Amino acid sequence: MSSEPSNQPSSGRDISPSPVRATKPVARSVIVGRRIRVGDAWAYFLAFVLGVALLAAFVGYHLTSSYRGEMAYWKARQSSVAYDRAQRVSDWLNERRADAELFSTRPSVQDALRAHYNSNRPAKRPTDGPADLTPVLDQMARVYRYVGVYVLDHDAQVVAQSSGSLPLSPLLKEIGQKVARTGMFRMDLLGDAPDKTLASLSVPVLPEPGTAEARPSGQPLGVALLVFDAAHTLFPLVIREGVPTRTGETVLVRREGNDIVFFSPLRHVPAGSRSREGLAAGLLVLLLGGILVFHRRHVLTRVLKQEGEKFRRLLESAPDSMVVADSEGRIVLANFQTERQFGHPRDELLGQPIETLAAERSRPEYRERFHRHAADLSYQHSGPCMAPLGLRKDGSEFPIEVLMTPLESPEGVFLISAIRDITERKQAEETLRKSKAALEEAQQIAHLGTWDLDIANDRAWWSDEMYRIFGVDAESFVPTLEASIHCMHPDDRELVASVLKEAFEGAKPYDIDYRIVRPEGSERAVHAEEEIRRLNAELEQRVVERTAELAAANKELEAFAYSVSHDLRAPLRAIDGFSQAIVEDYSEKLDDQGKGYLARTRKAAQRMADLIDDMLSLSRVTRWEMQREQVDLSALAGHIVADLRQSEPARNVEAVIAGGVVAHGDRRLLEIALQNLLGNAWKFSSKQPRARVEFGMNNRNGQTVYFVRDNGAGFDMAYADKLFGAFQRLHAQGEFEGTGVGLATVQRIIHRHGGRVWGESAVGKGATFSFTL
């Protein structure tokens, strides 16, 4: 839209005449200069409104940021509506004007006028004229829905009129005279019919160049006057076309000097306006000489174009998705980032509930938070971030953080949600968590404890391994410096204290050996290296060294395992084999007791072989080089259960395996973990008449938790801490077989994945083992 409509070129002839003032009761008119394009004129009107509003922005400088938000909302909604309608009105007017002009150049019209003038003189062709023109006018009225079509002479005497049209009113006569005098196209409102909104289009009938004229040169022959009912022709365009609205009012307004003229007689006929399908027409924000004149009704639309534009740009350039929703939670505005992040085109989002953007399971939380904000505006800026999951159009989910800020406005409460994609942050957190877990494990393997001391506050932090080395309980022991020294052998305390003191004061590293006395009384020799951390480089160096030590330890472990694997089993084979040989070859020399002893010997040998195998598999799990990939746990569980069924075909076990459970991890290790868990479930439910084994997945606090459940013997939660220790068993060998390595193996696998594993049960109530990855 042009912001400088007054600069449109206009010839001297086209000076607009004074309009009919709004203050006059007779009529309200919009006068359009002939050479000014009607579209620009309307653009000028709107630009004026915007200009007015800008001034209002200065007046309302103190308005709060929430007000600006509101502006943006309305602006977004209204500017497109306003533009669209202005365009339609402009187009419509242009068409009508073209019609009228075309009509005025019709030979039949011109002939009729000439005949009219001639007939006023001594009649030359008395039969010509109006009688011939009526069918033409009737047709025109019918086709274009004109209430009346008139052809007037230069003195506004009716030369011809469509049949059924009213006699020319004094107002129309006055308009006709003006057009005849000025030769300008005009449109007028004829507020003289109580049940209609009549308007007229008047166009001069100009003689064809070169024809002999009855009128002085340059003077119009007459006037063509078309009367229409705006309620049937123009208003529907404004009300219904484009974006339908039941509440929005539309401004068709123009300033004339100190007056405002507006094309909406309905404003002055309230009863009439309400009777028209609830149309509330005409909105006006008017500033005259610095005085704000507000319309007496609600100001529904405030268009602050520049403020709105600023806000819009701000919104568009925001790195987060910005979504404005009304108090019902329907989206009324979304920025570009929203489109990009969620994959929804903006048009699709408008009018949708805000939780469209949240994953199914985050929706209740999202909705609840939304309504709390909407109900209590004091939540502004204080609302903590929440971390639900966003949902893209393609169905994929991603972690988001949402900050909601309410906006209060006369139209109700709106909420601006700033939605941030926190996938990367989550990943960073996860990486940190895993590296911490890995460090813990590394310390555990290397029997290396570390501690930090805040000297000023005598507050220390111990790594988990420290508690293990010192043999104290992490829950109850408070690791102050004094408490640490108290753990040491009495003979060494002084030495350690002085070395520490020196280290603290001189910031000198130390390297000492001392003894500690564990609570149960055993002594341990401890080697301590201490340094006041000044440089991270030293720390990194230590990490390198420890990594090398760990690698060496790992290699040693591997050699050990290899040796065990080869050498430890051979004697067992001999024990078993020769016992069997005795039974076979010398059975007649043995009584039952002797045979029984040999049977026990063999059984013990076999159990030891099992222990060795499990121990090796446990160490293998530690040494195994992990390769992460997508693993279909459902399929793995299915195969494992099938194997279990095959191994014990006589058992009838109901297995419930959830489909589509996938995880990111090492296939081989996860298979071993599931083998152990499902194997346990299978084993411990063996005494149930209707055994049931279940594998599935659920979500706890946004984390995926995998579980294996059975309805078997269960265990006493009092011993839950022993579950995952190697060679720990909660059942007698006679009750359930096993070496007690399975869960230790599972735990090691899960820890290597950076996850957590735990068991829940009650005796006789079955057990559930859950893990995260």
Cα dihedral 67, 73, 75, 77 sign: negative
Instruction: Report the residue number, 258 or 646, with the smaller CB distance to other proteins.
Output: 646
Instruction: Give CA separation, 80 vs 85, 248, 262, 303, 486, in Å.
Output: 8, 12, 21, 11, 78
Instruction: Report the residue number, 89 or 605, with the smaller CB distance to other proteins.
Output: 605
- Residue 572 Cβ vs other proteins, minimum distance, rounded to whole Å: 5
- How would you list the strands of the sheet with 412-421, edge to edge? 331-334, 321-326, 412-421, 397-409, 389-391
Does the protein bind other proteins through residue 702 (CB under 8 A)? Answer: no
According to the 3-state scheme, what is the secondary structure of 76-95?
Answer: HHHHHHHHHHHHHHHHHHHH
Instruction: Report the residue number, 14 or 613, with the smaller CB distance to other proteins.
Output: 613
Instruction: Report the residue number, 145 or 623, with the smaller CB distance to other proteins.
Output: 623
Sole binder of other proteins in the list 398, 451, 578, 736 (CB under 8 A): 578
Sole binder of other proteins in the list 461, 562, 586, 597 (CB under 8 A): 562
| Contact set for other proteins, span 435-494 (CB under 8 A) | none
- Residue 529 Cβ vs other proteins, minimum distance, rounded to whole Å: 35
Please give the Cα distance from 671 to 617 (Å, whole number): 13
- Residue 438 Cβ vs other proteins, minimum distance, rounded to whole Å: 23
- Residue 598 Cβ vs other proteins, minimum distance, rounded to whole Å: 11
Binding-site size for other proteins (CB under 8 A) equals 23
Instruction: Report the residue number, 443 or 675, with the smaller CB distance to other proteins.
Output: 675
For residue 693, the cross-strand partners are 655, 710
Query: H or E segment at 326?
Result: strand 321-326
Does the protein bind other proteins through residue 667 (CB under 8 A)? Answer: no
Stretch that binds other proteins, among 288-296, 412-420, 506-514, 566-574 (CB under 8 A): 566-574
Does the protein bind other proteins through residue 570 (CB under 8 A)? Answer: yes
Does the protein bind other proteins through residue 672 (CB under 8 A)? Answer: no
Stretch that binds other proteins, among 233-241, 437-445, 572-580, 707-715 (CB under 8 A): 572-580
Return the half-sphere exposure (C-beta side, CA atoms, 13 A cut-off) of residue 146.
26
Per the document, the length of the chain is 773
- Residue 678 Cβ vs other proteins, minimum distance, rounded to whole Å: 22
| Contact set for other proteins, span 579-618 (CB under 8 A) | 579-581, 602, 605-606, 609, 616
Contact between 633 and 674 under an 8 Å Cβ cutoff? The reply is yes
Query: Tokens in use for 359?
Result: 């994953």
DSSP string of 95-138, one letter each residue: HHHHHHHHHHT-HHHHHHHHHHHHHHSS-S-TTSSHHHHHHHHH
Binding mask 618-657 for other proteins (x = CB under 8 A): --x-------------------------------------
Stretch that binds other proteins, among 70-78, 565-573, 641-649, 719-727 (CB under 8 A): 565-573
Instruction: Report the residue number, 43 or 672, with the smaller CB distance to other proteins.
Output: 672
Instruction: Report the residue number, 245 or 601, with the smaller CB distance to other proteins.
Output: 601
Does the protein bind other proteins through residue 576 (CB under 8 A)? Answer: yes
Neighbours of 526 (CB within 10 A): 19
Contact between 417 and 388 under an 8 Å Cβ cutoff? The reply is no
Instruction: Report the residue number, 364 or 571, with the smaller CB distance to other proteins.
Output: 571
- Residue 609 Cβ vs other proteins, minimum distance, rounded to whole Å: 4
Sole binder of other proteins in the list 347, 473, 567, 721 (CB under 8 A): 567
- DSSP code for 286: E
Sole binder of other proteins in the list 426, 569, 645, 731 (CB under 8 A): 569
Instruction: Report the residue number, 381 or 566, with the smaller CB distance to other proteins.
Output: 566
For residue 694, the cross-strand partners are 656, 709
Does the protein bind other proteins through residue 565 (CB under 8 A)? Answer: yes
Instruction: Report the residue number, 124 or 566, with the smaller CB distance to other proteins.
Output: 566
Residue 711, burial from CB neighbour count under 10 angstroms (0-12, 13-18, 19+)? buried
Does the protein bind other proteins through residue 86 (CB under 8 A)? Answer: no
Instruction: Give CA separation, 162 vs 145, 339, 437, 763, in Å.
Output: 12, 57, 94, 101
Please give the Cα distance from 447 to 352 (Å, whole number): 58
Residue 258, burial from CB neighbour count under 10 angstroms (0-12, 13-18, 19+)? exposed
- Residue 627 Cβ vs other proteins, minimum distance, rounded to whole Å: 14
Instruction: Report the residue number, 16 or 601, with the smaller CB distance to other proteins.
Output: 601
Q: Are strands 331-334 and 757-761 parallel, antiparallel or unpaired?
A: unpaired
- Residue 641 Cβ vs other proteins, minimum distance, rounded to whole Å: 24
Residue 470 phi/psi, 5-degree rounding, is -80, -10
Instruction: Give CA separation, 145 vs 134, 136, 380, in Å.
Output: 16, 14, 56
Sole binder of other proteins in the list 572, 670, 678, 691 (CB under 8 A): 572
Instruction: Report the residue number, 529 or 585, with the smaller CB distance to other proteins.
Output: 585
The distance of Cα 627 from the centroid of its chain, to the nearest Å, equals: 34
- Residue 676 Cβ vs other proteins, minimum distance, rounded to whole Å: 18
- Residue 596 Cβ vs other proteins, minimum distance, rounded to whole Å: 17
Residue 615, burial from CB neighbour count under 10 angstroms (0-12, 13-18, 19+)? buried
- Residue 635 Cβ vs other proteins, minimum distance, rounded to whole Å: 23
Query: Tokens in use for 680?
Result: 């346990």
Instruction: Report the residue number, 106 or 607, with the smaller CB distance to other proteins.
Output: 607
Please give the Cα distance from 546 to 443 (Å, whole number): 9
Instruction: Report the residue number, 572 or 757, with the smaller CB distance to other proteins.
Output: 572
Stretch that binds other proteins, among 188-196, 492-500, 538-546, 567-575 (CB under 8 A): 567-575
Sole binder of other proteins in the list 566, 589, 690, 700 (CB under 8 A): 566
Stretch that binds other proteins, among 36-44, 413-421, 575-583, 721-729 (CB under 8 A): 575-583
Please give the sequence-ordered ranges of beta strands (E in DSSP) within 176-246, or none if there are none: 186-189, 198-205, 222-229
Instruction: Report the residue number, 324 or 673, with the smaller CB distance to other proteins.
Output: 673
| Contact set for other proteins, span 522-561 (CB under 8 A) | 561
Instruction: Report the residue number, 78 or 675, with the smaller CB distance to other proteins.
Output: 675
Sole binder of other proteins in the list 478, 551, 574, 762 (CB under 8 A): 574
Query: Tokens in use for 220?
Result: 């119009």
Does the protein bind other proteins through residue 577 (CB under 8 A)? Answer: yes
Does the protein bind other proteins through residue 666 (CB under 8 A)? Answer: no
Please give the Cα distance from 613 to 619 (Å, whole number): 10
Contact between 642 and 750 under an 8 Å Cβ cutoff? The reply is no
Q: Enumerate binding residues for other proteins (CB under 8 A).
A: 561-562, 565-567, 569-574, 576-581, 602, 605-606, 609, 616, 620
